[in-house]
Structure formats: structure tokens, C-alpha cells
């Protein structure tokens, strides 16, 4: 289960193309009252990444939420962008050639969807086999 990152500051994100891994690092905003108990920082590691897109990084990103969602939701919301990206650059992968069969292809690989929503700054999506908390 993913931790709540609501109102956390996104410290960094790292994309390791060779390992097909993305790491998101977030920490509690010290200006926000300490409503949340527990960890002050989190690192979420996505392994087996099949595709992702982040946009609007303003270097002072405030997370609204990170949610696990069905792959179909990612394709419904971002399908036209995914198709366009595949036509222009071959990204994210060959499953993007036919978005109607993509849910089955991705499900066979054990891929899940994740949406990063922002209160301010960076937002996007990830398709990966797993998301772990370090």
C-alpha cells in the first residue's frame, strides 16, 4: 500500500532507463502543521516500468496524491498522448501501437497504473509492475 504523500514536497525523481526503474523522493513540508505521524520522508520505487510521463516540474512541487489505478484509467485519460508519443518517438513501448489491446498486454506482464497528482507543479503517470516504499 502506498503512503499518503498529501502536501509533501517532491524532493527528486530519478529515472533509470537500463533498470526500468523510477524513484520518487518526497518529504513532509516543514511549513505544514505536523498532522501526519510517522515518517518525515518517503522514497517510492517503481520497478518494471513500461511507460511514464511527468510534466510541469517547477522545482517546488507539492504532491496532492499518488494513487494506484487500473491500467485502463491511465489509457482512458492519457491514451491520445501515449499514441502521439509512440508515433513521434517509439515511446513508451510497442504495446502503444494498439491501445484497444494494451490493457490485456500490460495485464499479462503484471503491470499496474499509478497517477501522481499535484497541488502545485509536477504531475503524471507511471505504468509499472510494482511500487515499493523504501
pLDDT, residue 40, reads 83
pLDDT at 36: 54
Mean pLDDT of the region 105-125: 98
Mean pLDDT for 82-88 is 94
For the chain, give the longest Cα–Cα distance.
47
The pTM is what? 0.92
pLDDT digits (tens, 9 = 90+) for 12-45: 999 999 999 999 999 988 776 665 555 689 999 9
Looking at the DSSP bridge assignments, the partners of residue 55 are 123
Q: Are 13 and 26 in contact (CB under 8 A)?
A: no
Domain range for 28 is 8-133
Residue 70 lies in a domain: yes
Residue ranges with strand state E in the chain: 8-16, 21-28, 41-47, 51-55, 62-69, 112-120, 123-128, 130-133
User: Residue 12: what pLDDT?
Assistant: 97
- 87, three cell numbers: 508515433
> How many domains are there within the chain?
1
Which residues are 65's β-sheet partners? 117
For residue 130, what pLDDT is reported?
98
In a domain, 1, yes or no: no
pLDDT digits (tens, 9 = 90+) for 44-77: 999 999 999 999 999 999 999 999 999 999 999 9
pLDDT average, residue stretch 97-122: 97
pLDDT of amino acid 35: 59
**pLDDT mean over 87-110:** 95
The CA R_g of the chain, rounded to the nearest whole Å, is 15
Residue 132: the pLDDT is 97
Q: What gap in Å lies between CA 84 and CA 66, rounded to an integer?
A: 25
Q: Is residue 72 part of a domain?
A: yes
Distance CA 68, CA 130 (A): 10
Quick check: is 3 in a domain? no
Amino acid at each position: 500500500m502506498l503512503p499518503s504523500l498529501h502536501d509533501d514536497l517532491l524532493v527528486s525523481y530519478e529515472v533509470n532507463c537500463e533498470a526500468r526503474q523510477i524513484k520518487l523522493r518526497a518529504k513532509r513540508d516543514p511549513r505544514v502543521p505536523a498532522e501526519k505521524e510517522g515518517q518525515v520522508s518517503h522514497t517510492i520505487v517503481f520497478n518494471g516500468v513500461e511507460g511514464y510521463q511527468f510534466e510541469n516540474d517547477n522545482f517546488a512541487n507539492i504532491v496532492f496524491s499518488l494513487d494506484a489505478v487500473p491500467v485502463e484509467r491511465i489509457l482512458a485519460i492519457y491514451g491520445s498522448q501515449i499514441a502521439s508519443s509512440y508515433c513521434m518517438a517509439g515511446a513508451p513501448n510497442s504495446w502503444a501501437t494498439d491501445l484497444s489491446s494494451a490493457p490485456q498486454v500490460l495485464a499479462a506482464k503484471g503491470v499496474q497504473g499509478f497517477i501522481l497528482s499535484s497541488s502545485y507543479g509536477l504531475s503524471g503517470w507511471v505504468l509499472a509492475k510494482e511500487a515499493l516504499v523504501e
